[in-house]
Amino acid sequence: MKRRIGILTSGGDCPGLNAAIRGVARASYELFDAEFVGIADGYKGLIEGDYREMKRNEFSGILTLGGTILGTSRRPYRNMRVIEEDNIDKVAAMKANYKKMKLDCLVTLGGNGTHKTANLLAEEGLNVIGLPKTIDNDIWGTDVTFGFHTAVDIATDVVDRIHTTANSHGRIMVIELMGNKAGWLTLYAGVAGGADIVLLPEIPYNIDSVIASIEKRIANNRSFTIIAVAEGAYDKAMADMKRKARVQALKDGNFPSVSYYLADQIQGRTGLETRVVVPGHYQRGGSPSPYDRILSTQFGTYAAHLIKEGNFGQAVAMKAGQVSHNPLIEVAGKTKFVPKDHQMIQCGKDIGISFGE
C-alpha cells in the first residue's frame, strides 16, 4: 500500500533537521511504498499551499547539512485560530491543503509551538506525527531533543575561548546563551566550559550572591570570572513580573538583554571591568554533531515505523535510552524546565559553581 507523506520543519532551525528528514524518508522507502511531499517554510507553506513532490535523491547527501532543506518559519500557535487582516482561516486552509496534497500523513519537525499546532491538526482529524527538535531541550516527555547536543558543543566552545581573553585581561565576562524559558543549554555548557557562575531562568539570581562569588574568586587570587547566563534569566527583583514586563523593564533601562543589565549591575557595584559576549544564532548553525546525527536518524526511522503501523497523533521521544513515543495531546503545550534539584545543578554546586541563589 502506497503512503503519501507530507513533511515540514517549523520554528527555529537547528542542526539535525536534515538528518531527521533523511531518516524518515530512507526508512519509509525501505519499509513500504512511500512518496514524499515537501512543505516549504513550516506551517506557512501548509497554510498557503506551498509544496512540492520530492524525489528520492533529494534525501541523499543531507546527513551532515545544517539548517533545513525545506525552509522554516515561526507561526505562533496562539494565532492559529485567529482570523487576521488577510482574512484567512488558517486551520481550514491547512486541512484543505492536506487534502489537496492527498496526504496519508503529515510529519512535523519542531519544538513546543510546532507540537501544539500538530496536536491541533490531529484533533481536527489529520494524521500527524511530531519529531522533537530544539536546541533548548525543553520539550516535555523526551529526555533529549535533536539539536541540543550540537548547541552544547558550540556554546561550550564559546565559553572555552572566552576563558583565555578573560584571564589575560582580568575581566568579568558575561556570556549570554540561548534559552528563553528553560536553562538546559546554559546549564550544560556552563558546566562543560568551566563557568564560575551559571544563571538560569528557573533560578532568579540574587545580585548580592553573584558579587559575593566574584569577590571570593578575587580573594583567592583569581582575577577573572566567567558567567554563563541564559537569555531568559532574571534577578529576584523581577521575579514577580511577567515575562513581557521584564523585557520592558530592560528596554526602559536601555539594556538590550539581561546580560547587559547584569554587567551593569556588576561593574556599578564593584568597579571591575565587565564585558558581554552574545554568540546568538551562532549556536544554531553548522553541521550536527555525530550524536545529533544518530539521534535524528533514530527519531526519523522510528517515525517511519509509526507511519507503517498507522499509529498517528504521536510525538517521537527518547525515554531512558530507548526511542519511544507520547501522545501529542499529552506533551503539546508543556515545557520541560530544569528542576531546581536536578542532578546537574548539584554537580555544579559540588565543584564550586554559583547559581546566584
Q: State the amino acid at position 66 in one-letter form.
A: G
Contact partners, residue 100, CB within 8 Å, separation at least 6: 49
- Give the HSE-up count for residue 304: Cα atoms under 13 Å, Cβ half-sphere: 23
C-alpha cell read off for 166: 578573560
According to DSSP H, which parts of the chain are helical?
Answer: 17-31, 43-48, 90-100, 112-123, 148-169, 184-193, 207-219, 243-252, 258-270, 290-309, 328-331, 343-350
From 219, 239, 217, select the one nearest 227 (Cα to Cα). 217
Rounded Cα distance between 108 and 110, Å, is 6
DSSP structural state of residue 254: T
Q: Are strands 2-9 and 197-199 parallel, antiparallel or unpaired?
A: unpaired
Angle (CA) 183-188-190 rounded to 5° is: 90
Catalytic residue among 41, 104, 136, 292: 136
Is 350 in the active site? no
- Between helix 112-123 and helix 90-100 the angle, nearest 10°, is 70
Residues annotated as catalytic are: 136
